[in-house]
Amino acid sequence: MAVKISKRIKDILAKDSKLMINTTKDKVPFVAARGGGDFAWDIDGNKFIDFSSFISVYNLGDEANKKIQEAITTQSKELIHAAFTDYYSEKPLQFAEKLMTMFPKGFGRTFFSNSGTEANEGALKLARLYSKRQYMFSFYGGFHGRTIGSLSLTVSKHRQREGFGDMFGPTLHAPYAYCYRCPFKLEYPSCGLACVDYIKKYPLSKEANPKDVAAIFMEPIQGEGGYVVPPKEFVVEMRKIADEHGILLISDEVQAGFMRTGKFLAMDNFGVEADIYTMAKAFAGGVPIGATVARNSLGNIPKGALSNTFGGNLVAIAAANASLDYIKKNESNLKSGISRKGKYIMTRLKDMLERYEIIGDVRGIGMMIGVEFVKDKKSKKPAQEERDKVIETAFYNNLLMLPCGESSLRVIPTLTMADKNIEEGMDILENAIKKVNGSR
Ligand SMILES: Cc1ncc(COP(=O)(O)O)c(C=O)c1O
């Protein structure tokens, strides 16, 4: 194994568990020093191929990072914070205008915030204000954030909600179209979309009158829930249900958006337009920002209803602007690269699916790709221990990866990673899978 854990790193891990209230890290002892592109380095100088993009944040890679850094430096010397929510400022408005060109026609209003969860809080509030309805609807496996409003929509793992008592208002939930583990034990397409029937017959009939439902929140591809790609028809049906009952469709693009699937908006893969989109993560190349983007037809928002201190922060806007400029300038190269690299990763994984008993499913669009581990293909019993072992083995062989769902992992390199580094990363991943598969 190439990576050794030094005393310095062990001390940092111990200090972290003593000082930090955050409780989600436990998989690998990676202590970051540098990264953001094809590679990441820890503080001991160990070099890793990065298949995590630091939780879907470094989508664009080194060339874009340099431009983002320059934009941050220039702006920080001029003015960092312009109190954009109390005074006026030109740059956030110029950026908002540019941003709107990435959205369908009729989208012209945005709320800038600081994170994915805050972007979803904004969407929740807009949905209530616009519809004057109480109920929200979201899917099992969905992850929308951890502040109480967003957490009421998050039904990914019970430990995210445990101990917090009442959530925000009445929220309905139903199974997502997670076809590999269909809760109705059916197969697509012969199922006839039983999950859609269920939604119509139960939550949107027995539990609530659909006329009382403000919004359907959905990730076009579930991220934290396990990189679950629904059939196109499922997403189309959600739009139809929304239209039939005057419900808003809200696309949480925090993880799936910003080119990860080869399109700026992941929802576009399904030929569906939402009424509100939320974005964060890769939006400003690592600088905290969130955006809630709404149709003009949602109307005017009462003064004072949505605001914050840091929304529209000039450094965050400069970083987001540099990211968006990079996408606009390189769009066709980015798209063809994502398609080619995504196909290569999928082909390698599909081949592994044939050969290794512990791989149950591989799925994805563009470069948002997940692998689900099982005890064996027949029982499909989730193999969390095996998945963790794969991530750990890969780590000690210089590949950084992250888990998702109960027993899946994500393959999410930066979208511009060099083909040879993707190939090398896939070799390390395959060796790790082979080792864990063979040692059962
Ligand atoms: C789809 C989705 N929505 C919302 C969030 C919350 O974003 P943040 O952690 O920036 O609050 C996440 C975070 O992983 C996410 O994946």
Give the mean pLDDT of 354-375. Answer: 98
User: Taking a C-beta distance cutoff of 8 angstroms, is the pair 121, 144 a contact?
Assistant: no
For ligand 1, mutation pick of 255, 278, 283 (most atoms within 8 Å of CB): 255
Atom of ligand 1 minimally distant from the CA of 224 = 16
In the reported structure, the alpha carbon of residue 116 is separated from the centroid of ligand 1 by a whole-number distance in angstroms of 5
Atom of ligand 1 minimally distant from the CA of 253 = 1
pLDDT value of position 26: 74
179, pLDDT greater than 80 = yes
Contact residues of ligand 1, CB 6 A cut-off: 115-117, 120, 143-145, 219, 223-224, 252, 254-255, 280
pLDDT value of position 1: 58
Q: Tens digits of per-residue pLDDT, 226-245? A: 999 999 999 999 999 999 99
Computed over every residue of the chain, the mean pLDDT equals: 96
User: Taking a C-beta distance cutoff of 8 angstroms, is the pair 43, 9 a contact?
Assistant: yes
Rounded Cα–Cα distance for residues 278 and 187 (Å)? 31
Q: In the structure, what pLDDT confidence band is assigned to residue 168 with cuts at 50, 70 and 90?
A: confident
Residues of the chain with CATH 3.40.640.10: 81-312
Residue nearest to atom 3 of ligand 1 (CA): 144
Q: What is the CATH number of domain 81-312?
A: 3.40.640.10
Residues of the chain with CATH 3.90.1150.10: 7-62+332-438
Q: Which uninterrupted H or E stretch holds 65?
A: helix 62-78
Q: Tens digits of per-residue pLDDT, 114-165? A: 999 999 999 999 999 999 999 999 999 999 999 999 999 999 888 888 888 8
Q: Tens digits of per-residue pLDDT, 308-360? A: 999 999 999 999 999 999 999 999 999 999 999 999 999 999 999 999 999 99
CATH topology of domain 7-62+332-438: Aspartate Aminotransferase, domain 1 (3.90.1150)
User: Taking a C-beta distance cutoff of 8 angstroms, is the pair 175, 195 a contact?
Assistant: yes
For ligand 1, mutation pick of 120, 144, 283 (most atoms within 8 Å of CB): 144
Give the mean pLDDT of 276-302. Answer: 96
In the reported structure, the alpha carbon of residue 117 is separated from the centroid of ligand 1 by a whole-number distance in angstroms of 6
Atom of ligand 1 minimally distant from the CA of 223 = 16
Residue nearest to atom 4 of ligand 1 (CA): 144
Rounded Cα–Cα distance for residues 429 and 406 (Å)? 19
Atom of ligand 1 minimally distant from the CA of 145 = 6
For ligand 1, mutation pick of 121, 281, 283, 310 (most atoms within 8 Å of CB): 281
Q: Tens digits of per-residue pLDDT, 247-282? A: 999 999 999 999 999 999 999 999 999 999 999 999
